């Protein structure tokens, strides 16, 4: 636990740095329809976006390491701190001071996160829920329906609100990807080569890049990156928690403790969106 928490926080910081670079790059190329791979080809020509991929790979490696040490239900909420890093990095890049209100909102975010972890006391399960056909099939159906409805909703929305459903779709992809990585942890302990015989490895190879593509669409759709990142940051851990509870046999306190957990998560969600509303953006940069 003592090793896993700092590793997860490092992953959050690396994801944030990657997001800053990706948001800047996404506004340097022509806007593409949601889900079209040509956007990634255009972005790859930009040096800044290529560096963002390096940072994302570092973050992914740290996330995998954290998932091998501590439960999925604990890792994903810790990634919420990535939005705080994102805002601080934007402020540093623009040589601006972070105002007191933003500092307070950051503290509220971390307070809600700490409260959830203390109240829930998550424990790691055996991760066997995805080894059977029907549970795996139901998870795949849930992903297709959730992402599909979000993308369809984005197509019918006003441009001002379009980033949010696209970001939610990306968050679903990221949350489920984290669950699939966690389910592979036991096979990794047996033999690194054993993961190539599991369907989760190939699902990750598809779902992960598709989530990245949707996040780029979300960044492109609006003038600010923070609201999109906020939606991703909130959706990712919530989806991961559901995957951990229903598919990976992970456990949190139940009964009266659920009220405290719900209030703590509500505080995190509220603080994240307050931060997003005040976050600096790169217009004119």
pLDDT tens-digit series, residues 205-221: 999 899 999 988 888 77
**What is the reported pLDDT for 126?**
60
Q: Residue 202 CB: number of other CB atoms within 10 A?
A: 12
CA distance 79 to 122: 15
Q: Rounded mean pLDDT of the chain?
A: 81
Helix (H, G, I), strand (E, B) or coil at 96: coil
Model confidence at 281, pLDDT cuts 50, 70, 90, reads: very low
Model confidence at 147, pLDDT cuts 50, 70, 90, reads: very high
Q: Are 224 and 105 in contact (CB under 8 A)?
A: no
CA distance 154 to 13: 28
**What is the reported pLDDT for 285?**
35
Query: Is it the case that residue 170 has pLDDT exceeding 90?
Result: yes
pLDDT tens digits for 60-106? 889 888 888 888 777 877 887 887 787 778 777 666 666 667 767 77
Tokens of 185: 């942890």
Contacts of 231 (CB under 8 A, 6+ apart): 163, 164, 167, 168, 171, 218
Tokens of 237: 């851990």
Tokens of 86: 């994102």
Q: Are 239 and 175 in contact (CB under 8 A)?
A: yes
DSSP symbols for 9-29 = HHHHHHHHHHHHHHHHHHTTS
pLDDT tens digits for 35-48? 788 888 899 999 99
Tokens of 264: 């703590």
**Greatest mean pLDDT range, 104-113, 140-149, 191-200:** 140-149
pLDDT tens digits for 48-62? 999 999 999 999 889
Q: Does 193 or 270 have the greater pLDDT score?
A: 270
């Amino acid at each position: 636990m003592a090793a896993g928490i700092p590793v997860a926080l490092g992953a959050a910081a690396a994801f944030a740095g990657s997001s800053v670079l990706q948001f800047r790059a996404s506004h340097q190329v022509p806007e593409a329809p949601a889900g079209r791979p040509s956007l990634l080809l255009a972005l790859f020509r930009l040096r800044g976006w290529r560096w963002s991929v390096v940072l994302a790979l570092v973050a992914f490696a740290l996330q995998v390491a954290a998932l091998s040490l501590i439960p999925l239900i604990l890792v994903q909420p810790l990634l919420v701190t990535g939005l705080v890093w994102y805002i601080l990095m934007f402020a540093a890049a623009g040589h601006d001071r972070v105002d007191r209100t933003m500092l307070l909102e950051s503290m509220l975010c971390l307070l809600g996160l700490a409260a959830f972890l203390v109240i829930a006391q998550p424990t790691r399960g055996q991760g066997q829920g995805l080894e059977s056909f029907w549970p795996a099939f139901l998870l795949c159906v849930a992903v297709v329906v959730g992402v599909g409805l979000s993308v369809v909703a984005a197509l019918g929305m006003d441009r001002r609100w379009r980033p949010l459903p696209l970001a939610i779709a990306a968050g679903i992809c990221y949350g489920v990807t984290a669950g699939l990585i966690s389910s592979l942890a036991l096979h990794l302990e047996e033999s690194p080569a054993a993961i190539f015989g599991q369907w989760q490895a190939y699902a990750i190879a598809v779902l992960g890049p598709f989530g990245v593509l949707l996040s780029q669409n979300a960044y492109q759709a609006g003038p600010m990156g923070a609201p999109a990142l906020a939606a991703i940051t909130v959706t990712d851990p919530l989806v991961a928690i559901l995957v951990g509870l229903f598919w990976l046999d992970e456990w949190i306190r139940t009964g009266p403790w659920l009220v405290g957990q719900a209030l703590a998560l509500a505080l995190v969600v509220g603080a994240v969106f307050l931060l997003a509303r005040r976050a600096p953006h790169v217009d004119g940069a």
